[in-house]
Amino acid sequence: MTHFVPHDDFRSWGNVLQVPHAVARPSWRDQLANTISTGRQQGLPLLATGLRRSYGDSILNPAGGMIDMAGLDRIIHFDPDRRLLRAEAGLPLDVLLKLFVRQGFFPPVTPGTCYVTLGGAVANDVHGKNHHVNGTFGRWVRRLGLLRSSGEELELSPTEHPDLFAATIGGLGLTGLITWVEIELIPIKSAMMDVENIPFEGLDAFFDLAKKSEENFDYTVSWIDCLAAGASLGRGIFSRGNHSASGSPLPDRGNTRFNMPINVPQIAMNRHAINAFNALYFWNGKRKSGGARVGLHPFFYPLDTIGRWNRLYGKKGMYQYQSVVPPAVQHDATKEMLAAISASGQGSFLAVLKTFGASVSPGLLSFPMEGTTLALDFPNRGDDTLRLMARLDAIVLAAGGRLYPAKDGRMPAQMFQAGYPAWQAFSKHVDSGFSSLFWQRVSQM
Task: Give the mean model confidence (pLDDT) for residues 296-317.
Answer: 86
pTM for the whole structure: 0.94
Nearest residue to 355 (alpha-carbon basis) of 338, 382, 377, 375: 375
Cβ distance 399 to 406 under 8 Å? no
The per-residue pLDDT for 255 is: 60
Cβ distance 255 to 306 under 8 Å? no
Task: Give the mean model confidence (pLDDT) for residues 107-128.
Answer: 97
Q: Given a cut of 70, is residue 12 above it in pLDDT?
A: yes
Q: Given a cut of 80, is residue 279 above it in pLDDT?
A: no
What strand order describes the sheet that includes 351-356?
290-295, 192-200, 236-243, 219-224, 351-356, 371-379, 318-325, 402-403
Rounded distance between C-alpha atoms, residue 135 and residue 360, angstroms:
7
Q: Which residues contact 401 (CB under 8 A, 6 or more apart)?
A: 323, 324, 325, 326, 333, 371, 419
Cβ distance 341 to 388 under 8 Å? yes
Identify the structural domains of the chain with CATH numbers, from first to last: 75-188 (3.30.465.10), 192-408 (3.30.70.2520)
Q: Determine if residue 305 is left, alpha or beta; phi over 0 gives left, psi from -120 to 50 gives alpha, anything else beta.
A: alpha
Helix (H), strand (E) counts: the chain: 13, 21
Q: Given a cut of 70, is residue 268 above it in pLDDT?
A: no
Q: Is 386 helix (H, G, I), strand (E, B) or coil?
A: helix
Q: Given a cut of 70, is residue 161 above it in pLDDT?
A: yes
Rounded distance between C-alpha atoms, residue 244 and residue 237, angstroms:
21
Least confident piece of the model among 187-201, 242-256, 346-360? 242-256
The per-residue pLDDT for 281 is: 72
Higher-confidence residue of 373 and 276: namely 373
User: Residue 39: in which H helix or E strand, if any?
Assistant: helix 32-41
Cβ distance 312 to 374 under 8 Å? no
**pLDDT confidence band for 296 (50 / 70 / 90):** very high
Task: Give the mean model confidence (pLDDT) for residues 218-235.
Answer: 92
DSSP state of 333: H
Give strand pairing partners of 88.
Answer: 180
The per-residue pLDDT for 270 is: 73
Q: What is the pairing mode between strands 290-295 and 236-243? A: unpaired
Nearest residue to 127 (alpha-carbon basis) of 375, 420, 422, 432: 375
